Amino acid sequence: MADQPAAIEYLYELWDANWDDGPLGNYRILRHRITKKTARRIYFLRNSSRPAFVDRQKIETAGEIYHRPIDGILYLAEPALPRQPKPPALSDLKAAMAAAHPDRGGTEAEFITARQRYERARTRT
């Protein structure tokens, strides 16, 4: 009987394709192939080509570890995709806009931001 090939192991990253669009994320799970494990480190290929490593004891203890080069968290097990938050109601956005008005103690910048949020939501509906 032939030897079974070793199972391919991965580290997982939860990646938001719309990272600059605020709270409504378009999440994907990226897999980084593990190439080697030592007593102290787990080596993996980042973006399928760049070698990198994480502290083995920390990631195996917590199940996840912050990895500075990707500015994100790597997981030992595949994480669940977060649910998309429900968009705020127009009435809530209108109330926030009114509360941010300079006549009610808000600043001009806060009011402009709140109005832009309200206008974007209004044009979507």
H/E element holding 33?
Answer: strand 27-37
Q: Is the pLDDT of residue 62 over 70?
A: yes
> What pLDDT does residue 35 have?
93
Give the integer Cα–Cα distance in Å for 122 and 94: 10
C-alpha Rg value of the chain to the nearest Å? 22
Banded model confidence at residue 2, pLDDT cuts 50, 70, 90? low
Q: Which helix (H) or strand (E) holds 42?
A: strand 41-46
Band of residue 3 on the pLDDT scale cut at 50, 70, 90 = low
Q: Which amino acid is at 11?
A: L
Answer left, alpha or beta for residue 91, where phi above 0 means left and psi between -120 and 50 means alpha. alpha
pLDDT at 21 over 80: no
CA–CA dist 10, 47 (Å, integer): 12
pLDDT in tens, 86-120: 778 899 999 999 999 999 999 999 999 999 999 98
